[in-house]
């Protein structure tokens, strides 16, 4: 499994890690550690330390009406930095969603992006589809190009998915709901409802930024 980690103080290096998946955690164990420092990506053999924490799905379960906007902003900065490091390394995640984001450390201030397995599957197959023709990804956060099964997927797809995930964190529900096929159709055909219609306490500027991610991806 690959993970991308961004330190909470933004003063340390960004890391891309790839390796096996230990039981009960998203942290990798072998065999390659890729570390992003400044403008250089360094790769070396090694054992990556398993990270303890909990996925954002568990956090959402405890905050069914949405999370504190300030917390969402702090996490989103780290997620953007981690995705930027991955994209500079030529890796598109393809499955950015709450279950693949771990929060950990004091006050759960640190973020780790987990499970780049779909990125690896897409690299191996050369397409955005499984062997049975199903689109690769998770419907609630899937970009339109993934829903269509496009062969060429770039970092903009991750930005779309990030926008969908951040949307869910604020009012406590994803931008589109329904069955899997219905959600995929909505990604292709409609805009999400304004976040502030669901949770008026969300700052208007934050709503604008989150809604712009799917619109510009």
**Cα-based distances in Å from 117 to 23, 93, 109:** 16, 8, 25
Q: Report which of 77, 81, 61 is spatially closest to residue 69, judged by C-alpha positions.
A: 77
The DSSP element (H or E) to which 31 belongs, if any, is strand 31-37
Is 95 considered catalytic here? yes
Q: Report which of 212, 104, 135 is spatially closest to residue 166, judged by C-alpha positions.
A: 212
How many alpha carbons lie under 13 Å from residue 171 in its C-beta half-sphere?
Answer: 18
Catalytic residue among 68, 95, 154, 158: 95
**Backbone dihedral angles phi then psi of residue 214, each to the nearest 5 degrees:** -65, -30
How many secondary structure helices (H) and strands (E) does the chain include? 8, 7
How much of the chain is in helix, strand and coil states, percent to nearest 5? 40, 15, 40
Annotated catalytic residues are 95
């Amino acid at each position: 499994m690959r993970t991308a980690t961004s330190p909470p103080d933004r003063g340390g290096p960004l890391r891309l890690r790839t390796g096996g998946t230990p039981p009960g955690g998203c942290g990798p164990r072998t065999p390659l550690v890729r570390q992003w420092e400044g403008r250089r990506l360094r790769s070396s053999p090694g054992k990556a330390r398993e990270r303890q924490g909990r996925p954002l799905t568990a956090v959402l379960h405890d905050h069914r009406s949405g999370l504190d906007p300030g917390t969402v902003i702090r996490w989103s900065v780290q997620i953007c930095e981690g995705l930027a490091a991955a994209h500079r390394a030529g890796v598109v995640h393809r499955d950015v969603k709450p279950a693949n984001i771990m929060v950990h450390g004091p006050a759960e201030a640190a973020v780790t992006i987990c499970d780049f397995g779909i990125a690896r599957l897409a690299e191996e197959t050369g397409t955005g589809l499984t062997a049975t023709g199903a689109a690769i990804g998770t419907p609630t956060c899937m970009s339109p190009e993934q829903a269509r099964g496009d062969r060429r997927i770039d970092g903009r797809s991750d930005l779309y998915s990030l926008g969908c995930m951040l949307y869910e964190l604020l009012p406590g529900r994803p931008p589109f709901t329904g069955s899997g096929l219905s959600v995929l159709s909505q990604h292709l055909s409609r805009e999400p409802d304004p976040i502030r219609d669901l949770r008026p306490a969300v700052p208007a500027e934050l709503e604008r930024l989150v809604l712009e991610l799917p619109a510009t991806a």
